[in-house]
Structure 1
Amino acid sequence: MSTAELHWQTAKLPNAKPIEGRFIRLEKLDPARHGDGMWAALEGPNSDPKLWDYLPYGPFTQRADFDKWLSGNASTSDPWFYTVIDRETGVVNGCLSLMSIVPDHGRIEIGHVTFGAAMQRTAKGTEAIYLLAKESFALGNRRLEWKCNDSNQRSKRAAERFGFKFEGTFRQHMVVKGINRDTSWYSITDSEWPALQHAFESWLAIENFHDGQQLKSLESFRSL
Structure 2
Amino acid sequence: MDLSEQKLLENDFVRLEPLRDRHRGVLRPLADEAELWALTSVRADGVHFDPWFYTMHAATRLDRQISYAVFDKLSGRYGGHTAFLSIVPEHQRVEIGWTWYGAEFRGTHVNPAAKRLMLERAFEAGAERVELKTHGRNERSQRAMEKLGAVREGVLRSQMNTWTAERRDTVYYSVLKEEWPDVRAGLDRRLTAMKP
Q: Please report the TM-score for the alignment, with normalisation by the length of structure 1.
A: 0.80
Q: Does 1:19 align with 2:6?
A: no
Q: Which residue of 1 aligns with 2:102?
A: 116
Q: Deviations over 1:78-111 (max 9, x none)?
A: 3321100122454221101111110111001110
Q: Within the alignment, does 1:74 sit opposite 2:39 as a pair? A: no
Separation in structure 2 between the aligned mates of residue 68 and residue 184 of structure 1, nearest angstrom: 26
- Pairing 1:180–2:163 present: no
**1:53 aligns to what?**
38
Q: Look at both structures and tell me which one has the larger radius of gyration over its CA atoms.
A: 1
* Structure 1 unaligned residues grouped into runs of 5+: 1-10, 213-224
Which structure ranks higher in relative contact order (CA pairs < 8 Å, sequence separation ≥ 6)?
Answer: 2
Query: Which residue of structure 2 aligns with residue 35 of structure 1?
Result: 24
- DSSP 3-state at the match of 2:46: coil
CA distance in 2 between partners of 1:143 and 1:116 (Å): 28
AA aligned opposite 2:179: E
Q: What amino acid maps onto 2:191 in structure 1?
A: L
User: Quick check: 2:109–2:194 contact (8 Å CA) kept in 1?
Assistant: no
Q: Which amino acid aligns with 2:11?
A: G
Q: What TM-score do you get using the length of structure 2 for normalisation?
A: 0.91
> Residue 165 of structure 1 corresponds to which residue in structure 2?
151
In structure 1, what is the Cα distance between the partners aligned to 2:146 and 2:75? 30
Choose the corresponding residue for 2:138, options 132, 137, 152.
Answer: 152
Greater share of helix:
2
CA contact (8 A) 2:34 2:45 kept: no
Q: 1:119 Cα deviation (Å)?
A: 1.1
| Matched-pair contact (CA < 8 Å) for 1:14–1:139 | no
Query: Structure 1's 118 and 170: CA in aligned 2 closer, same or farther, altered over 3 A?
Result: same
Q: CA RMSD in A?
A: 1.6
Q: Is the 8 A contact 1:84 1:94 kept in 2?
A: yes
Q: Where in structure 2 are there 5+ consecutive unaligned residues?
A: none
Quick one: structure 1 residues 155 and 89, their matched pair in 2 at CA, closer, same or farther if it must change by over 3 Å?
Answer: closer
